[in-house]
Amino acid sequence: MTGVIQGLLAINNGYSKPQRQMLIYGILTVIVVASTKFIWDGLYVGLKGQQDGVGYPWGTNLYGDSMWQPDVRIAGYFAVLVGIFVNPLASPWEPIFPYLAVSFIGSIIGIAIIQPKKALFKGFVKTLLLISLVMFITGAAGTVVEVMNVMAGIDAIGGDGFGEAINFYRIIGGHRFWTPDAPNTYAPYISNFAWLWQFLFTNGFSIMLAMITIYLVEFRGRGAHFANKTKYIRRYGVIAFTNYNNQWLYFIPPAFIPLIFGEDRYTRQLWAGTWLMILTTLIFYTIILYVWGLINYRFSFEWLMRSIGYILLPIRRNKELKAKKWWQKGDIDMKGSFLHGPWANIVEENETYHKAKTDSRISMILSIFSLAIPIFFAFSVITLPMSIRARKSEGVNKKNTTALVLSIIGAVITLAFLVFVFVFSPASLGLAL
C-alpha cells in the first residue's frame, strides 16, 4: 500500500517535491490512526461468528475455530477469505490499522534521509525526536492508567488485581487485545483508548530509538564503525521476512532441554533452563544465518522477491544479472551491501568536529536524559563509553566530565536493579503471579 501511494505521489514530477510528499504522508498517518477504531468496530458489528454470534475477530465460525484463525483444512470458503483479507485490517496482532501509519512515518524518515540539504535533515531529526518523545510519554502515562484501572477493578470483585494487570501488560504486543470487547477478564476495566496508549507507547519508543541511533551514528561520522560493530544484528534484518517465517526454530530447544533436567518436553524452566533455551535458540539462528549467507541467502523469501522483480521489472535486468544463472538472479549481494556497503554520514568525523567538543555535548545531553527518566537508566551503559571516548578525543572538559559522572550513576543503578530482579522472585516479595 505504501508503494502504491509513493507511486501516485511521484506522478507529474511529484518525486521532486519532498516536502509535499512528507506533508501528505503526515496527513495520511493521522487519518489511519483516527480511523482505526471505526474500522475495528465496523468489522466487529458487521462480521459475526456463525457459531456464537460474537463479532470479528473474537467470534467462532461454523467449524469451531476463531474467526481470525480458521483451520484451512476444514474451514469453508468464506471463513478462509475472512482469514486472508480481513485479518490484515483488524486481526489481534499487527493489523494494518493502525500500523500502516508507522509505515507512513518510515516513508517520511526515508524521504528526509535522501535529501541533499543535510542541515534540513538535522532539524528534521530533532523535530521527530521531540514528537516521538511526546508520543512515548503520553502513551506511557495512558498505559499506566489502564494497568492501574485493571488492578483496581479486579481487586474490587475479590480477584487478583496485580496478577491480572500483569497478564494484561504481557500482551502489549497484541494490539486488538487492548480494547474493551476483547474476550479477557481485564477487558471491562479498560477504556476505548487503551489501544491508542499502547500504540503511542510502543511506537513512540521505537521511533525515538531510531532517531537517537541516527543522531549518534550519522551525525558523528560513525557510519562504517557502527555497521561493522552491528554485523551480527544486521544479519537478522537482511532476510527479515524469512526469519519471521523461521520462528518454528523456537520450538526445538524446549523439546529437549527440559529432558536435561529430568522433566517432560516443553515444561517451563527456572532461570538455568530458560537461559539455556535462549542461548540454544540464538546458536541455531547464528549458524543458519552465517552458513546461508555464504551463498547469499539463495532460495530465501527475499531471494524469491528479487527473482520475481527481475522478471517483472525491466530496470532490474542489467548486464551483470543477465549473465548469471536463474538461481543466482535473486542473490543478495552480501559483499557489496552488507560487508562493505557505501556507509553514509551526515557529518564527517574530523579535527574540526572534535574541536567543537561535539561528542562531549552529545554524551552530556544523553546522560542527563537517561538519568532524568527512570525507564532509560539502562541507556547509561551506552553513554558511559561515549563520555570516556570523548575525554580521550576532545580532552577533559566540563561537558564530558558531567556525562561521565551521570553515566556512572545510571550504570550503577542499572546493575543494582538487574542484581535485585535476579536474586528476588515475585513470590519472595509476597507477589503472587
Res 15 pLDDT > 70: yes
Q: Confidence band (pLDDT; 50, 70, 90) for 159?
A: very high
Residue 262's beta-bridge partner residues? none
Say what the pLDDT of residue 122 is.
66
Give the separation between CA 183 and CA 58, rounded to whole angstroms: 7
Answer whether residue 289 shows pLDDT above 70: yes
Average pLDDT, integer, range 207-212: 90
The Cα 7–Cα 373 span in angstroms is 41
Per-residue model confidence (pLDDT) at position 432: 55
pLDDT bucket at 2, cuts 50 / 70 / 90: confident
Q: Are 208 and 129 in contact (CB under 8 A)?
A: yes
Would you say residue 116 has pLDDT above 90?
Answer: no
65-70 mean pLDDT:
90
Q: Determine whether 264 is exposed, middle or buried from the number of CB atoms within 10 Å of its CB (0-12, 13-18, 19+).
A: exposed
What is the model's pLDDT at position 13? 87
pTM here is 0.80
Q: Is 313 exposed, middle or buried (0-12, 13-18, 19+ CB in 10 A)?
A: exposed
What contacts 221, CB < 8 A, 6 or more positions away?
Answer: 345, 347, 348, 349, 350, 353
Boundaries of every domain in the chain:
1-221, 225-338, 359-429
The answer to whether the beta carbons of residues 389 and 422 sit under 8 Å apart is no
Q: How confident is the model at residue 427 (pLDDT cuts 50, 70, 90)?
A: low
pLDDT score of 429: 66
Does residue 79 contact residue 65 with C-beta atoms inside 8 Å?
Answer: yes
| Statement: residue 193 has pLDDT above 90 | yes
